Structure 1
Amino acid sequence: MTNVTETLRVTVQHADADADADADAAVVTVAGDMDLHTASALSEHALTVVQEGAPHLVLDLAQVDFVDSTGLSTLINLMHATQEAHGSLRLAAVPDRLARMVTMTGISQLIPVHATVAEALAARAADDPAGRAAGEARSVG
């Protein structure tokens, strides 16, 4: 009999507000299994972060043990949600098993994958050198 764990731990660290390029970014650290039973928890946490003003997310997946198709679909849904909020999604520290799945399914063509969280944040800052100023310009309506 397969032992199904329903454990997923999600922690959020907002980027340093003093660093203009990262003021609207957050690192979401995921630990455990991303599957049918837990993917909704990841989605809820990440979407809350986006709604609270950090549309640029880096998912730190170093501690992810297992991902099923629901977990992969959650990544795609989060990508769409961040894009709708004029943000972005990046994956960091993706374990080898998951990296193969992300590559084989084509997700790596849609969502940038980085070796570390620091690299993902640096690439995000390079893509949007205006940083917080661009975020403020978006919020003025």
Structure 2
Amino acid sequence: MPEQLTLTVSLRGTRQVESNYQIFRLTGLLDAFSESTLRNVIGKCIDEGPPDIILDLSKIDFVDSSGLGALVQLVKKAKTSDGSLQVVTNPRVTQTVKLVRLEQFLSLQDSLAVAEEKFKGK
């Protein structure tokens, strides 16, 4: 059962913990106003484990450079904890990520099913 996350007025989400990974489904805006809260909340969840993370951003309406910075920091935190981070995206998010050439680093995936496959049997 997904757990509601308290983020910001403009960014909402849920957390679902599977046996060897976590799924975060986010909606709203990933911007300068929400990035700090996002980093803190998901960073704490990475510490609690498991450190393999799927960020489902398919319902995100907008992401700015601050939001991208938060994603980069979360990838690094997951790697430091011997995990990894997959990002499920939508065309708006993909376009922003590609503008700054981070699509490889952020491990963009087209669907939640594809992202989950990366962690099956790990």
TM-score normalised according to structure 1 size: 0.76
User: Does residue 1:118 correspond to 2:113, yes or no?
Assistant: yes
User: Does residue 1:62 correspond to 2:58, yes or no?
Assistant: yes
Structure 1 unaligned regions, length at least 5: 16-22, 132-141
Structure 1 stretch displaced more, 98-107 or 65-74: 98-107
Match of 1:136 in 2: none
Q: 1: CA distance between counterparts of 2:24 and 2:37?
A: 12
Q: Which consecutive segments of 4 or more residues in structure 1 shift more than 4 A?
A: none
TM-score normalised according to structure 2 size: 0.87
Q: How does 1:34-49 map to 2 (within 5 A)?
A: 34-49=30-45
Q: Which has the higher helix share?
A: 1
Q: 2: CA distance between counterparts of 1:12 and 1:63?
A: 15
In the TM superposition, residue 10 of structure 1 has moved relative to its aligned partner by 2.2
Aligned length: 115
Amino acid at match of 1:67: V
Amino acid at match of 2:59: Q
User: Does residue 1:85 correspond to 2:81, yes or no?
Assistant: yes
Structure 2 unaligned regions, length at least 5: 1-7
Match of 1:11 in 2: 14
Match of 1:137 in 2: none
> 8 Å contact 2:90–2:110 — kept in the other structure?
no
Match of 2:5 in 1: none
CA displacement 1:69-127 (0-9 Å, x = unmatched): 100000100000000000001001x12111011122121121211111111010233xx
Secondary structure in 2 matching 1:108: coil
Match of 2:94 in 1: 99
> 8 Å contact 2:64–2:96 — kept in the other structure?
no
Amino acid at match of 1:76: V
